[in-house]
């Protein structure tokens, strides 16, 4: 729940007495089932969307990010409560911290193990279940990009992705984005009226890693799904020729 401060306080005059209105607006609920939240006061003009986002840990419901959508007009000002969108996404770990600039979640993962031992007393259990905890991390950028593209916010998805291209795992982010959408749509038993894959392909084509992403995705995908993949990304022979000519230009330049 947020209760934003009013932009200006209103003073009323009554019989030469001044009364100050309440300095806050009406409260508004932005999320429920919130267990943890993360924000930062650190500034990075190159990654404003990530730095000014509010991250929420919602237990079994996964995580949510309250992402700012900055106007394209650079002359317009914005504040924390300017236009934002709440994007939910699933995580495989329990989040403990968010590395804002690195687009990484730090947390713990658990694995249930059953320890068997002999027991002389048949009334006592012979199996002892317990969990092993491991410190781990998870990247989340592909989840956010997917949600933005699904909502036809491709311009904001591009702005977010372009500020993260220097991350060493950015090509892997594009690969995860393509692979997850491909598997979800190609294995769907129900017809998809508005497929997301064409938008994902058009999005990845904005980056020089496009061909590399397609190759890595195809290698890790079942052959049965290849026809659906190449019906969206293009003929594999044509893509191969484009890659060959691109490499040739690098060597001759």
In a domain, 232, yes or no: yes
In a domain, 25, yes or no: no
pLDDT at 123: 64
pLDDT at 6: 64
Q: Could you give the residue ranges of the DSSP H alpha helices within 5-109?
A: 48-51
Cα 181 to Cα 197: distance, rounded to the nearest angstrom: 6
Report, as ranges of residue numbers, the positions in the chain whose pLDDT lies below 50: 8-13, 18-20, 80-81, 248-253
Say how many domains are in the chain.
1
pLDDT at 81: 46
Tokens of 145: 């990009």
In a domain, 195, yes or no: yes
In a domain, 183, yes or no: yes
Range of the domain at 251: 168-253
pLDDT at 5: 66
Taking every pair of C-alpha atoms in the chain, what is the biggest distance, in angstroms? 90
pLDDT at 159: 94
Integer angstrom CA distances of residue 149 from 46, 70, 86, 160, 204: 21, 16, 14, 12, 11
In a domain, 218, yes or no: yes
In a domain, 175, yes or no: yes
Question: Which DSSP letter does residue 69 get?
Answer: -
């Amino acid at each position: 729940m947020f209760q934003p401060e009013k932009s200006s306080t209103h003073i009323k005059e009554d019989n030469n007495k001044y009364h100050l209105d309440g300095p806050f607006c009406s409260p508004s609920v932005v999320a429920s089932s919130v267990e943890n939240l993360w924000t930062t006061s650190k500034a990075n003009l190159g990654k404003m969307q990530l730095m000014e986002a509010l991250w929420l840990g919602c237990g079994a419901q996964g995580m949510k990010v309250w992402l700012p959508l900055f106007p394209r007009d650079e002359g317009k000002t914005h504040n924390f409560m300017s236009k934002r969108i709440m994007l939910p996404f699933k995580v495989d770990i329990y989040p403990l911290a968010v590395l804002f600039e690195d687009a990484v979640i730090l947390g713990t993962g658990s694995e249930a193990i059953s320890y068997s031992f002999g027991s002389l007393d048949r009334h006592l259990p012979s199996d002892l279940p317990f969990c092993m905890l491991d410190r781990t991390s998870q990247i989340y950028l592909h989840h956010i990009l997917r949600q933005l593209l699904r909502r036809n916010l491709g311009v904001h998805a591009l702005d977010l992705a372009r500020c993260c291209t220097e991350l060493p795992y950015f090509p892997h982010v594009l690969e995860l984005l393509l692979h997850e959408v491909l598997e979800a749509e190609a294995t769907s038993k129900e017809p998809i009226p508005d497929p997301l894959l064409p938008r994902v392909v058009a999005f990845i084509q904005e980056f020089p890693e496009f061909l590399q992403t397609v190759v890595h995705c195809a290698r890790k995908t079942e052959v049965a799904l290849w026809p659906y993949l190449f019906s969206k990304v293009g003929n594999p022979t044509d893509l191969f020729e484009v890659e060959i000519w691109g490499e040739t230009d690098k060597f001759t330049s």
